[in-house]
Amino acid sequence: MKTYLRRHARSNKERYLNINLLLALLVLLLLIMVTLDLFNPRSAHAEYADVVINNYSDEAGMRPVVFPHWFHRIRFRCKVCHADLGFKFDAGGNDINMLKIIDGEYCGACHDGDIAWSVENCDLCHSGQPGTPTQVHGSTLQKLKTSPAADAK
Amino acid sequence: MKMTIHSLIKSGAVLCTVFMLILFTAGKSFSADPNTFNRLLAPASERNPPPPTDGIHDANGPGAAALQTPKTAFHDLPKSKSGNYIDWVKALDEKKISPRYDRLDPNAVPVVMDLNIVREVKGSMPNVVYPHKQHTEWLDCSNCHPAIFIPQKGANDISMAAILLGEKCGVCHGKVAFPVSECRRCHSQKKEKGSTKVKQQK
């Protein structure tokens, strides 16, 4: 009986230790979050004119596409994509899908493994945070402090 | 039995302490200095961030880290005060960049038209000078005419409200080209004395 009690007591003590350890870790985590300011959700501050295209990606279980305008305008004039390749000036308004791309339309006109790297590099385009809505990042409407678009950031 | 009551009290006390700590830390983080600079503005240090930390790319994915960082590409390019913080027109003028005019031909020469359109504006702001030259360096006529601008004098009703909403000039300016905060880059021609309607009314 005595031994049973002693063992019981010890197991309780161990349980205390575990609870205390867990709580200590929780407090430590909180302190880290406070010092790193992780409580304040930061709005996205990506590059001006980065276009997020999420017409089908989320549904298909892929990360949405992020198109960096800045990277492409260093290499091509606007006219190449927006006149020759038929991209409308409308984020999400071009019905782009992978079949069209592999058939050489839209992005596929260059991303063919010749002018630019090819379609098997899925993750280079599909690199956005899941759930990010289709948008032109940093557009005037989006940046207004009082517009409905500002809430949707 | 004594043991369980004792343990209950003890764990309760610990939980209370933790709860108070949570409240304290959370309260501390939410009540940051209210008089900081850039309360509604991203600070300059956050401009041109690398893709993994820009809030749009997924840092946990394999792609974000492989992408070029804007700062690397922008290093030698002329700076501006807004947008990408790059003066793209100047960069092209100074041949700091040489974007292709044709998808395949690196030597294709753009069809540039040098024609300024002056638009007299109603208020006190200087008149708008629209340079075809800088625009045709980048764009084809068909990009703007006739869908966005009817190529005929007086046929286009343009307002700052429309531009802010992404129409007319706002199809590009405020989305990819320099934004409307750069007033003087368009409103660049000084009005003749007494030519504004404001003055005429006096």
Residues of B in contact with A47 (CB under 8 A): 48-49, 54, 70, 84
Q: What is the pLDDT of residue A151?
A: 47
What is the chain B residue with the closest CA to A134?
B56
Query: Closest approach of chain B CAs to the CA of A119, in angstroms?
Result: 13
Give the pLDDT confidence of A107-124 residue by residue, as tens digits: 999 999 999 999 999 999
Q: What is the pLDDT of residue A27?
A: 74
Query: Closest approach of chain B CAs to the CA of A135, in angstroms?
Result: 10
Percent of chain A, pLDDT > 90? 62
The residues, any chain, with a CB within 8 Å of residue A27's CB and separated by 6 or more, are B18, B21
Cα separation, A4 vs B103, in Å, equals: 83
Q: What is the pLDDT of residue B27?
A: 52
Q: Does residue A129 surpass a pLDDT of 80?
A: yes
Report pTM.
0.78
Point out the residue among B64, B83, B85 whose CB comes nearest to the CB of A127: B64
Q: What is the pLDDT of residue A30?
A: 73
Please state, in angstroms and as integers, the Cα–Cα distance from residue A91 to each residue in A53, A78, B198, following that order.
7, 15, 39
Reported ipTM: the value is 0.81
The residues, any chain, with a CB within 8 Å of residue B139's CB and separated by 6 or more, are A77, A78, A79, A82, A83
Contact between chains at B58 and A124 (C-beta distance less than 8 A)? no
Contact between chains at B18 and A16 (C-beta distance less than 8 A)? no
Q: How many CB atoms lie within 10 A of CB A39?
A: 14
Is the pLDDT higher at A79 or at B33?
Answer: A79
Give the pLDDT confidence of B132-161 residue by residue, as tens digits: 999 999 999 999 999 999 999 999 999 999
- Residue A70's nearest CA partner among B55, B84, B139, B113 is B84
Q: What is the pLDDT of residue B64?
A: 96
Instruction: Tell me what the mean pLDDT of segment B109-114 comes to.
Output: 97
Q: Which of A20-24, A89-93, B14-18 has the lowest average pLDDT?
A: B14-18
